[in-house]
Structure 1
Amino acid sequence: MAKITIKDLYKMKENSEKIVMITAYDALFAKIFNDQVDMVLVGDSLNMSFGGHAETIGISVDEMIYHARAVRRGLTHPYLVVDMPFCSCATPQLALKNCAKVYEKTGCDAVKIEGGKDFAATVELLSKNGIAVMSHIGLRPQLSRFQGGYKVSGREKNALNLLLDDAKAVQNAGAVLLLLEGTVSSVANEVMSVANVPVIGIGAGSCDGQVLVWSDMLGFFDEFKPKFVKRYLNGAELVREAVKNYANDVKKGIFPSEEFEYLK
């Protein structure tokens, strides 16, 4: 399977072919996902699902690079996007420094930055320097502490105009992709109508494509399930049962049997 490029993603949008995106944090799962998806996101969600924290805030640029390099080694086909952590793009110049480092060290195809029109100047500077940007608008997890939780966008007054302004601003600045999170479907439809780049949705109804956190959709993170997540596997339950059987075999001396021993 050939490596997917940004041109392929635009062609898929043009042909109304849905784009499949999933998160990955290591080479093992990247290899499993490689032949099944069009895009992979090394998301700062790894701070929660992989690191055990309560929010995405707190992971560093170097940690993102470590995981992205591992994922890159497991991929040959999907388009790879790497999340930029909280405040790593606080100013355009800081963004250029950090994004260039991520771009160079990971071999990713694009970086993802949370922010709309307030980050247009940053997107423009990165684009002028050859760094592809996926702009993340709508619900922004990195603002959860500031806003007092995760707020679905689109319900408040003027929400539609704000999101449309964000989408237009980052597109005009050079963003090659949009990620639209946590908004009501009617608002997402309006954003789609003005988008001239592929829009990947998460909790935003039907867009050009969809992304889910792998541990959510495979049921490995089972403490909480967001409304927009469809579980395709009860992963945690299956693994617990397998480990329980392993432990039982060891305790009872069933494993290792002769079948699993080196003999003369």
Structure 2
Amino acid sequence: MTCAPDSPAGPSDASSPYGPAPSPGARPTRPVRVHHLTRAKERGERLTMLTAYDAVTARILDEAGTDMLLVGDSIGNVMLGHDTTLPVELDEMVVATRSVARATARALVVADLPFGTYEAGPAQALASAVRLMKVGANAVKLEGGRPRVQTVRLLGEAGIPVVGHLGFTPQSVNRLGGFRVQGRGELAAEALVADAVALAEAGAVAIVLEMVPEPVAARVTATVPVPTIGIGAGARCDGQVLVWTDMAGMTQWAPRFARRFGQVGQALRQAAQAYGEAVREGSFPTSEHSFDS
């Protein structure tokens, strides 16, 4: 990601703390930084985040003006064919993060710490996070609340911004008993708010809230000074995140909280079918696609 110094705001970017989203096809020059996230919350500006796992997709989403690209351990489900995120290795996250960062000019690149790379304590988390930062991440994301406070604080002291993740935490799917909404009931809601406050006080720059009742997510959003990024947490978070394949209609099934904003999967299928037909009938390649001797 480009790390050019901030330039003074001019008339064209006066409405946003980090400059306007670029027009289609334009390559922006002013990157989103972590302090812009809090500034956006203070100004009531909604933040956008999408997952990305490769350079081709990252470049498209970045040019579309997405504020944050999450190199999620959801790569396990989405790209690697696993049923959960648990099998994802740090080496796989390093490759994906490097690819996304190389293709990104504006968006803040956030990389997940996969299962087994930070649970042993702050020292393990620091070693894992350093690997992701060295290949281009601008921040790392980890799951859990108050038990992660020391880790968040240590990473922050080392210069590594941390995004927290509360509610349904996919790496704890076995303990949670499956894909279930979290934070229901007063005790659970109180615990979730306490976790969010603890993460913010430890230095987290944002907090993802996944599969949380909307009133609870709204309460967290009003309580903590850092942005909340919702996924299945209602409309009152400071921003939203979706897995890009769900957002773009790449699969036949998508979770209830996702909305398809396109039918990319259908378009890709049609393109592949058209290609196959052209090859079989001999209409591709033609002289236009060939070289003279």
Q: Do both proteins adopt the same fold according to a TM-score greater than 0.5, normalized to the shorter chain?
A: yes
Corresponding residue SS for 1:34: helix
Distance apart, 1:195 and its partner CA: 1.2
1:92 and 2:122 are equivalent in the alignment = yes
Deviations for 1:33-74, whole angstroms, at most 9, x for unmatched residues? 112211110000011111111111111111101100000010
Corresponding residue for residue 4 of structure 1: 32
Distance apart, 1:218 and its partner CA: 0.5
Corresponding residue SS for 1:158: helix
Map 1:30-179; keep pairs closer than 5 Å: 30-35=58-63, 36-90=65-119, 91-104=121-134, 106-179=135-208
Where structure 1 has 5 or more consecutive residues not aligned to the other structure, the ranges are: none
Distance apart, 1:6 and its partner CA: 1.2
Conserved? CA contact 2:37–2:206, under 8 Å: no
Q: Which amino acid aligns with 2:264?
A: G
Corresponding residue for residue 204 of structure 1: 233
Corresponding residue SS for 1:228: coil
- How big is the alpha-carbon RMSD for the aligned residues of Structure 1 and Structure 2? 1.2
Using the size of structure 1 for normalisation, the TM-score is 0.96
Measure, in 2, the Cα distance between the counterparts of 1:136 and 1:172. Answer: 15
Instruction: Work out the percentage of aligned pairs sharing the same amino acid.
Output: 39
Distance apart, 1:221 and its partner CA: 2.5
Measure, in 2, the Cα distance between the counterparts of 1:178 and 1:185. Answer: 15
Measure, in 1, the Cα distance between the counterparts of 2:257 and 2:184. Answer: 16
Deviations for 1:109-150, whole angstroms, at most 9, x for unmatched residues? 110000111111111111122111001011101111232311
> After alignment, is 147-156 or 58-67 more displaced?
147-156
Given the alignment, which residue of 235, 244, 250 partners 1:214? Answer: 244
Measure, in 2, the Cα distance between the counterparts of 1:8 and 1:128. Answer: 19
Corresponding residue for residue 16 of structure 2: none
Where structure 2 has 5 or more consecutive residues not aligned to the other structure, the ranges are: 1-27
Q: Which amino acid aligns with 2:35?
A: K
Measure, in 2, the Cα distance between the counterparts of 1:66 and 1:32. Answer: 19
Deviations for 1:5-36, whole angstroms, at most 9, x for unmatched residues? 11222211111011111111111111111122
Corresponding residue for residue 262 of structure 2: 233
Measure, in 1, the Cα distance between the counterparts of 2:169 and 2:54. Answer: 24
Distance apart, 1:157 and its partner CA: 4.7
Distance apart, 1:156 and its partner CA: 3.9
Q: Which amino acid aligns with 1:53?
A: H
Q: Which amino acid aligns with 1:149?
A: G
Measure, in 2, the Cα distance between the counterparts of 1:9 and 1:154. Answer: 25
Corresponding residue SS for 1:55: coil
Deviations for 1:57-99, whole angstroms, at most 9, x for unmatched residues? 1111111011000000100101110000012111111111111
Using the size of structure 2 for normalisation, the TM-score is 0.86
Corresponding residue SS for 1:47: helix
What number of residue pairs does the alignment pair up? Answer: 262
Given the alignment, which residue of 16, 21, 29 partners 2:44? Answer: 16
Conserved? CA contact 1:49–1:221, under 8 Å: no
Conserved? CA contact 2:122–2:151, under 8 Å: yes
Measure, in 1, the Cα distance between the counterparts of 2:292 and 2:127. Answer: 57
Measure, in 1, the Cα distance between the counterparts of 2:159 and 2:286. Answer: 58
Q: Which amino acid aligns with 2:165?
A: H
